[in-house]
Structure 1
Amino acid sequence: MTTEQKKILVVDDEPDILQLLEISLSRMGFNVYKAENIGSAKYQLSKTTFHLCLSDFKLPDGHGSELVEHINQNYPNTPVAVITAFGTINHAVETLKKGAYDFITKPISLDTLRQLVITGLQKHEQGGETEAEVRTIDINTAYFAGINDQILKYADNQLPVIIFGPRGTWKQRIAKLIHENSSLRNQSYTEIDCSDENIDLTPVDAGTLVYQNIESLSPERQSQLVKFIKALGDENRILVTSNWSEDEFMHSLGIKKTLIRVLCVGTITTRSMIDMLDDLPEISKTRLEQLAESWNKLPCKIHPSALSKLKSHAFAGNLKELDLILSKAAVNCQNQLIREEDVQLENTGFQPQLNKEMNLEKYIEEIEIREITNALAKTNNNKTKAADLLGISFRALRYKIKKLGID
């Protein structure tokens, strides 16, 4: 179908904006239909099949998210994006959850408008895309089904997403799958380890930028990253991984609120293996089948006694450690059956993580060390200001610094 035949519905209650969009889109070769409110848009949708809809968020008879939901339910092959002068993170999240493929704030440049339309039309043409073209985590449990839903939801837009969770819970794998299912899948995928103080936080390549260990950034580098993110165009998207929980990240004194605001638009939280022991048989079975496929061998089965031994393990390295244990067992077992003696739980290379239920005192000490260190960094080692920031006396701070061995 040629561009002259493609129909775009534009919804906005400002006549000047409607006219500007009509002129811009008509010059690109599209047939433009206009509506000034949700009611008018619904009427036009009932009479005409559109290839794309662009809507304002704040309309006389409701919010654009309501129109997004209506289109998504009744005209699922018509992609819809929201362009607004009243954009907030909450509005963006609400609109994307309702089914919009993008949420952009005014003013919008001609290049951004053109890319927005191109992306929408591509989604229209991919309306009949087969399931095989979608890449997800192929493990049949409720937890991974939920993770896959989030991967596909966030792949469908370019807003920042931060992935929280313990080490070894496939945060990088989730980030890669978001990229591979997104419109930027053919662009570069760049991982940036924020724990490396010498690494460049501002690469120039178009594509997906994944910031690992974001909690390690100093206040100065956090400010540098915020400025960089705010200046990014549509050719880039930001994904972030953190070994902290969402609660730790959101309430840490060492994380700038400006960084939280630009990053925490979309969030995903991963689980540790200890929280998935009921799923261990299915996870182990699937991973062994996947290993066998990559090795071009028959898959190993796992004896109940070996499975019981696995369930008793603490899994400091979570899913990554499970993969290592299963790989070794599959290599060493006989007749494709993993027995108890084949499961080697020692010397996996993963150090036990602090467990607040097992050792509350050490858990509290770790939090104190982290927050005091962050407060000192934020105040350039001014102990008086750091004590005020922490809500304790100078004497108490000095005592804790000495007790906890903070340099």
Structure 2
Amino acid sequence: MARKPRNQRRVLVVDDEVDLADLLELTLVKLGLDVDKANNVAEARALLDTRNYDLLLTDMRMPDGEGIELIRHVQSARLDVPAAVITAYGSTDNAVAALKAGAFDYLAKPVSLEQLRTLVKSALQLDDEAAPVPAGESPLLGDSPAIRQVHELVAKLARSQAPVYVTGESGSGKERAARLIHARSSRADKPFVAVNCGAIPENLVESEFFGYRKGAFTGADSDRDGFFQAASGGTLFLDEVADLPLAMQVKLLRVIQERKVRKVGSTTEEPVDVRLISATHQNLADCVDAGRFRLDLYYRLNVIELKMPPLREMGDDIVLLARHIVARLADCNGIDVPVFAPEALAALARYHFPGNVRELENMLERALALSDGETVTPCDLQLDREDLEPGHADGGGLQDYLDRVEKQAILEAIDKTGGNRTQAAKTLGVTFRSLRYRMDRLGIAGRGDT
């Protein structure tokens, strides 16, 4: 059956926290989806009985009941609505209960919008609807030697079918490079499916990747394709591939070798035709040395390596990107494009950008909201004075300084919580997954709980 266009898909968001419900609605609307909201179980049940939905996203605890009641209602009424729940951090039991009741996934509070987008795209299989890059237009802007080298390699990779391994710091544009390779390849008219391997609960990884048969487990009321089937004929992009559990790495290796997948609950294999592009901000070779990544899979994925340069190595491209991003944001908000004060451009050129292009985008979105609508000033950028010290202009020096500060803060938080990394993450105001990434990057030995 043909899928409905994105703008005809409707999501029901159920949460008694009005601010969170509004944030979820705004995020989903930006994905091109229609959204209804309910603030309690009774209201949500009434909407489910009177309207057709393509996804249910519900909080677990509400004034008149729990979200798991809605999951059970969907199951008992045989509604064809995939459901996901939002749980308080640390409420693993609630998440497990929801999965057993028929939910396909869960999100932990505080909700990561990136994980939300990944979940929604997985549930509704939206990634394959992403428009290919128009001919002559590239999502990788810039004319620095570093970015020109990327374009030259992308052109060669687009003519090949070999697996590509994209490396680079967080926010450096690894997915954009993968999309460009796909858009320039012979597979451009087929799906491009992006998967954040670190955002999928370990007990759901296999069914998400390979699909499942009806009756394979509680809640499997119909056959469902996985990421490999969704990307058939096209490209499957595995972001943060280093986060795949070792058991899944074995199965992925077999799929790459045999070009066949076996759905959960099936006794037969089916052929798949996808090109694999993988990426991670971690050093995959170090992960192999640490025993967290299989050496044979590493060689299968790392046939050709594409290194994305950090923004600080792109020279005048920083100004070019800043102007392009501000113009795009202004267009999206229906306002005139402001100009940059010379001092603001100088500040951007001197800043180190540990978060790369993603940080630049976030910074400029904030600056646009703070500016007077005509000029973006250094104050609008909200850069700390120490970030702009002349002595910190050298990339290595500033990065070393930032790493030392970050490492000290993490170690202090872990010590204060008696080695409890979950509590340390809360103290630092980051997710446990983010803390784990940072510890890996900074070479902090694991200690305490996992």
TM-score (ref. length: structure 2):
0.46
Once residues 358 and 335 of structure 1 are traced to their aligned partners in structure 2, the CA distance between those partners, rounded to angstroms, is 32
* Residue in 1 that maps onto 2:394: none
* Residue in 2 that maps onto 1:306: 344
Q: In structure 2, the residue corresponding to 1:309 is in which secondary structure?
A: helix
Q: Which of these residues, 153, 158, 163, is aligned with residue 161 of structure 2? A: 158
Q: In structure 2, the residue corresponding to 1:342 is in which secondary structure?
A: helix
* Residue in 1 that maps onto 2:282: 244
2:191 matched to 1:191?
A: no
2:353 matched to 1:315?
A: yes
Q: Which amino acid aligns with 1:142?
A: P
* Residue in 2 that maps onto 1:143: 146
1:71-220 aligned within 5 A: 133-136=135-138, 137-195=140-198, 196=200, 197=202, 198-199=204-205, 200-202=208-210, 203-205=228-230, 206=232, 207-220=234-247
Distance 1:276 1:214, change over 3 A: same
Distance 1:225 1:145, change over 3 A: same
Once residues 135 and 361 of structure 1 are traced to their aligned partners in structure 2, the CA distance between those partners, rounded to angstroms, is 40
* Residue in 2 that maps onto 1:229: 256
Moved over 6 A (4+): 360-364
Conserved? CA contact 2:142–2:317, under 8 Å = no
5+ residue gaps, structure 2: 1-132, 211-227, 260-270, 385-397, 411-443
TM superposition shift of 1:235: 3.2
Q: In structure 2, the residue corresponding to 1:404 is in which secondary structure?
A: coil
Conserved? CA contact 2:144–2:316, under 8 Å = no
Between the two proteins, the alignment pairs up a number of residues equal to 236
Once residues 171 and 376 of structure 2 are traced to their aligned partners in structure 1, the CA distance between those partners, rounded to angstroms, is 23
Conserved? CA contact 2:167–2:279, under 8 Å = yes
Conserved? CA contact 1:135–1:180, under 8 Å = no
- CA shift digits 1:46-66 (9 cap, x unpaired): xxxxxxxxxxxxxxxxxxxxx
Distance 1:140 1:300, change over 3 A: farther
**Structure number, greater radius of gyration:** 1
Conserved? CA contact 1:141–1:282, under 8 Å = no
TM superposition shift of 1:314: 4.6
Conserved? CA contact 2:371–2:377, under 8 Å = yes
Once residues 296 and 181 of structure 1 are traced to their aligned partners in structure 2, the CA distance between those partners, rounded to angstroms, is 31
Once residues 147 and 297 of structure 1 are traced to their aligned partners in structure 2, the CA distance between those partners, rounded to angstroms, is 33
5+ residue gaps, structure 1: 1-130, 347-353, 367-399
- CA shift digits 1:36-92 (9 cap, x unpaired): xxxxxxxxxxxxxxxxxxxxxxxxxxxxxxxxxxxxxxxxxxxxxxxxxxxxxxxxx
Q: In structure 2, the residue corresponding to 1:172 is in which secondary structure?
A: helix
Distance 1:316 1:135, change over 3 A: same
Q: Which amino acid aligns with 2:145?
A: A
Distance 1:359 1:214, change over 3 A: same
CA RMSD in angstroms comes to 3.5
Distance 1:355 1:328, change over 3 A: closer
Distance 1:148 1:293, change over 3 A: farther
Q: In structure 1, the residue corresponding to 2:229 is in which secondary structure?
A: coil
* Residue in 1 that maps onto 2:448: 405
Distance 1:293 1:143, change over 3 A: farther
Once residues 342 and 332 of structure 1 are traced to their aligned partners in structure 2, the CA distance between those partners, rounded to angstroms, is 6
* Residue in 2 that maps onto 1:328: 366
TM superposition shift of 1:213: 1.1
- CA shift digits 1:222-251 (9 cap, x unpaired): 111110112227831001111113653564
Identity %: 21
- CA shift digits 1:195-218 (9 cap, x unpaired): 222232333230211111111122
Once residues 365 and 404 of structure 2 are traced to their aligned partners in structure 1, the CA distance between those partners, rounded to angstroms, is 34
1:382-393 aligned within 5 A: none
